[in-house]
Amino acid sequence: MVCRITTFAFEGVEAQPVDVQVQLTGGQPAFNIVGLGDKAVTESRERVRAALAALGLAMPPKRVIVNLAPADLPKEGSHYDLAIALSILAIMGVIPPDMLEGHAAIGELSLDGRLGETLGVLPAAMAAEALDLKLICPAPCGGEAAWAGGSVLAAPSLIALINHFTGRAVIGPPAAGVLAEPPAGPDLRDVKGQEGAKRVLEIAAAGGHNLLFCGPPGSGKSMLAQRLPGLLPPLSARELLEVSQIQSIAGLLERGRLSRTRPFRAPHHSASMAALVGGGIKAKPGEVSLAHHGILFLDELPEFPAHVLDSLRQPLEEGEAVVARANRHVRYPARFQLVAAMNPCRCGGGPGAAACTNGPKCAQTYQSRLSGPFLDRIDLYYDTPPVTAVDLALPPAAEGTAEVKARVRKARDIQTERFGEITSDKRRPVNADAPTGDIERLAAPDAPGAALLADAAVKLQLTARGYHRVLKVARTIADLDGATGVRRLHIAEALTYRRRAPGQAEGVQADALAR
């Protein structure tokens, strides 16, 4: 006789069904788990044995074989405990074996039989609902699992599950967790001066463009970046589900509490490649995935190791992070908006005591830590000037986050209508993520604009990627203006935000505007 129940193995945010099969055979008493499990899975034997002992039950005096099928799929983590324990209880007759039909289970057992919080419950609940199975999970995770919309059985302990299946004390369905209200973030009105930087920030928010601020210390680069989330619309229902699945895998959901606020991740420049892109022993999601549908802010950009920054090139282009292993590839979604800040040079490059005394060579050496292919993926580059005492004495700006957010929302609505709720490759409906063919058609400039762009492409030495990114920025500027077509002034403004390559003549962008 074989008793079985379904559980799940995780490949990125995807929950793959695993058939837990338990059989009793003759021979010396033993407890074996097979099926390519890691150390945490093999240690499940002792947790299950102790949990049963806490209930006054002993393992059968036979050879117990637990098979996790498919056997060639790697299994990692401690969440297999509950499925193994329930299958053993069924084969012992403590639970009627037919009661486990139509159920899936995920959860870690403590030594006294209680069920603790487990990572990945939301993806598992979604997979169970797709398979028309009722998910059994720990009680602390019930609110999280309920968001999937399927049938959920959230139990505090193993004894509670035994009482439920034997009809002594039925467990009711859990309520979905709370949808947290977005917190009141910092207001753009607090930033004094830097009107040009605020304009760039508005363009970045409206079109989802990557942005780099370069300026001396104290010029407000970090302040501006921290106010970008307040300009963005809340997560849609689809985006909320995608973000929450990643947070569930990473253990960032507390009692099933979801939030429609877009993620804002700001890792320190000492972060490793595995921390930023994902990896480690169990291939956990990195900062780029935790910033999915949100913002990844990299302060002191040149201080990041060069190979770490270059590892962002593929996620920026493809919208996913791929962690390669010898026996598998793990994929995590990573469609984020990059915002970065840097000083002009290591000395700071500011006025007065912060002024650089080493000449242009200092800035060139400092900025050369950033590779050209990486910088080519940044749409907007802006030099933030120093903030003077006169700027600080000014009264608060007339426009704050609320006013700018209203314009951003209008521009985003235009893009949603243009691209649809989801584009053909499931990208966000924003200009920055538009496919090349679409942007050439939708952002085709008028004759004067086309002539200006062709001339600037030669003088600014634009790559093909840079050329199309100028068109995307120009399309966003036109959307903010409410214009149906891209005109010359939109192209001209977009060119001023393109980073000038080393060795180019000064003032090319200014000449483009003047002509």
From first to last of its 515 residues, the chain has per-residue pLDDT tens of: 899 999 999 999 999 999 999 999 988 999 999 999 999 999 999 999 999 999 999 999 999 999 999 999 989 999 999 999 999 999 999 999 999 999 999 999 999 999 999 999 999 999 999 999 999 999 999 999 999 999 999 999 999 999 999 999 999 999 998 888 877 789 999 998 889 999 999 999 999 999 999 999 989 999 999 999 999 999 999 999 999 999 999 999 888 889 999 999 999 999 999 999 998 878 889 999 999 999 999 999 999 999 999 999 999 999 999 988 767 789 999 999 999 999 999 888 776 656 787 878 888 899 999 999 999 999 999 999 998 888 888 888 778 999 999 999 999 999 999 887 544 445 568 999 998 888 999 999 999 999 999 999 999 999 999 999 999 999 999 999 999 999 999 999 999 999 864 434 444 454 544 44
Q: Pick the closest to residue 174 from 209, 202, 139 (CA basis).
A: 139
Cβ atoms of residues 42 and 33 within 8 Å: yes
140 and 251 in a single domain? The answer is: no
Q: List the structure tokens of 275.
A: 């921390």
The torsion angles phi and psi of 152, rounded to 5 degrees, stand at -135, 140
Domain count of the chain?
Answer: 3
Please tell me whether residues 367 and 443 are part of one structural domain: no
CATH number at residue 305: 3.40.50.300
Amino acid at 398: A
- In this structure, the strands spanning 108-109 and 179-180 are unpaired
Structural domain contains residue 142:
yes
pLDDT at 437: 87
The reply to whether 327 falls in a domain is yes
Q: Is residue 416 part of a domain?
A: yes
Environment class of 372 (CB within 10 Å of its CB; exposed 0-12, middle 13-18, buried 19+): exposed
> What is the pLDDT at residue 391?
82
Specify the pLDDT at position 136: 97
Tell me, yes or no, whether 94 and 47 share the same domain.
yes
Structural domain that includes position 6: 2-166
Query: What pLDDT is stored for residue 413 in this prediction?
Result: 94
Decide if 180 is inside a domain.
no
Prediction pTM value? 0.91
Based on the fold, state whether residues 406 and 442 are members of the same structural domain: no
> In the prediction, which pLDDT does 178 show?
87
Q: 183 lies in a domain?
A: no
474: in domain: yes
Residues 343, 492, single domain; the answer is no
DSSP annotation string for 417-472: HHH-SS-TTS--SSGGG--HHHHHHHT-B-HHHHHHHHHHHHHTT--HHHHHHHHH
Q: Where are the beta strands (DSSP E) in 334-450?
A: 337-342, 380-383
User: Which one, of 271, 205, 197, 200, lies nearest residue 232 by Cα?
Assistant: 205
pLDDT in tens, 50-73: 999 999 999 999 999 999 999 999
* Contact (Cβ atoms closer than 8 angstroms) between residue 121 and residue 252: no
Question: In the prediction, which pLDDT does 209 show?
Answer: 97
- Domain's final residue, options 403, 425, 447: 425
* Domain assignment present for 75: yes
Give a yes or no: residue 494 inside a domain.
yes
Q: Given 144, 166, 188, which residue is the final one in a domain?
A: 166
pLDDT at res. 512? 47
d(CA 261, CA 183): 8
Same domain, 387 and 365: yes
Could you check whether the bond before residue 70 is cis, i.e. omega within 30 degrees of 0?
A: yes
Residues 340 and 457 in one domain: no
Give the pLDDT of residue 66: 97
515 DSSP assignment: -
Same domain, 241 and 350: yes
Residues 254 and 129 both lie in one domain = no
Q: Closest by alpha carbon to 414, among 388, 442, 394?
A: 442
End position of a domain, from candidates 125, 147, 166:
166
H helix runs in 208-304, sequence order? 221-226, 237-250, 273-277, 287-290
On average, the pLDDT of the chain sits at 91
Residues 138 and 205 placed together within one structural domain of the fold: no
H or E, element range at 197? helix 195-207
Tell me: do 208 and 63 sit in the same domain: no
pLDDT digits (tens, 9 = 90+) for 159-200: 999 999 999 999 999 999 888 887 778 999 999 888 999 999
Torsion angles phi and psi, residue 439, rounded to 5:
-70, -30
pLDDT number for residue 470: 97
Same domain, 347 and 476: no
CATH number of the structural domain spanning residue 458: 1.10.8
Q: Output the domain CATH number for residue 36.
A: 3.30.230.10
